A = this chain, B = another copy of it.
């Protein structure tokens, strides 16, 4: 019995009359190349690929998602998400769909004084959405920074507690030429201090003093990022959250600001 003689249950009629918003595959890893600002970098994506399913169709064609993923080397960019997602929706013979790719993005950063270069990693998710024939792209960034507590600095005779914090930005993209690198740089400037992979002693002195001169509550950071993104070219609406992995507690401080897309 070959494939064409086998019953195709997925394509059969479904009598429940309930459309499915999204159906597909999740938690699949795939090697990829990110293209950003003309630079290429390798990474590994965790992928989530789904389409809408009409009320009268029993199942989707799961293997087509995998076939698409494997046809040619996976190259992702902000500019290419609309096309990728449209191609996926067509391949699945669907009218709507979403493609999410989450991956660590590596940037070579020069230490602030010594200038020594090392990779820093940022978690990025690129998402394509197709609905009613229109495609749009959105993104999610998780950007680690240092935060130093203004209260601790103010009330203490010396020192101030500080810690690693995560700034998470989710936004719709309105300009396909948006640079991830530039956006990350703009956001990480809103912490008490950015992070680097490699720091020599002159760098460590510099950033210790920089953070001390620049104390910020979790509330300050979420507001300063909101300020920085309010008119940031290429974004349309955003959701910002900041989590401080408090060095004086075993829990996090957390703040959120949402601005709906226009």
A residues with a Cβ closer than 8 A to B are 1-3, 6-10, 14, 16, 18-31, 41-44, 48, 50, 53, 58-60, 62-63, 66-67, 69-70, 103-104, 106, 108, 114, 116-121, 144, 146, 148-152, 154-164, 193, 195-202, 204-205, 207-209, 211-212, 217-220, 222-224, 226-227, 243, 245-258
- Closest-by-CB residue of B relative to A73 is B42
Asked whether, in the complex, the Cβ of B164 is within 8 Å of the Cβ of A245, the reply is yes
30 contacts between A and B (CB under 8 A): A3-B201, A6-B155, A9-B151, A19-B257, A21-B256, A21-B258, A23-B219, A24-B254, A24-B255, A26-B251, A27-B252, A28-B252, A30-B119, A31-B106, A50-B256, A53-B255, A63-B198, A67-B118, A67-B198, A69-B119, A70-B108, A146-B248, A149-B204, A156-B209, A156-B212, A159-B162, A164-B247, A197-B250, A204-B248, A247-B247
For residue A166, give the distance in angstroms from its CB to the closest CB of chain B. 10
For residue A253, give the distance in angstroms from its CB to the closest CB of chain B. 6
Asked whether, in the complex, the Cβ of B248 is within 8 Å of the Cβ of A193, the reply is yes
Residues of B within 8 A of A202 (CB): 1-3, 6
Interface of A is mostly: mixed
A198-B70 contact in complex given A59-B219, A252-B26, A256-B50, C-beta closer than 8 Å: yes
Residues of B within 8 A of A146 (CB): 161, 247-248
- Closest-by-CB residue of B relative to A19 is B257
Residues of B within 8 A of A44 (CB): 42-44, 103-104
Pick from B16, B24, B66, B69: contact of A227, CB below 8 A.
B16
Asked whether, in the complex, the Cβ of A257 is within 8 Å of the Cβ of B18, the reply is yes
Q: A48, A120, A247: which has the most chain B beta carbons within 10 Å?
A: A247
For residue A128, give the distance in angstroms from its CB to the closest CB of chain B. 16
Pick from B108, B163, B212: contact of A158, CB below 8 A.
B212
Residues of B within 8 A of A164 (CB): 163, 245-247, 250
Pick from B28, B114, B227: contact of A250, CB below 8 A.
B28
CA gap between A66 and B156 in the complex, in Å? 22
Pick from B154, B157, B208, B224: contact of A9, CB below 8 A.
B154
The 9 tightest CB contacts between A and B, nearest first, are: A159-B212, A28-B251, A26-B254, A156-B208, A23-B255, A22-B256, A66-B198, A42-B42, A26-B252
A20-B159 contact in complex given A70-B119, A202-B2, A207-B248, C-beta closer than 8 Å: no
Asked whether, in the complex, the Cβ of B162 is within 8 Å of the Cβ of A23, the reply is no
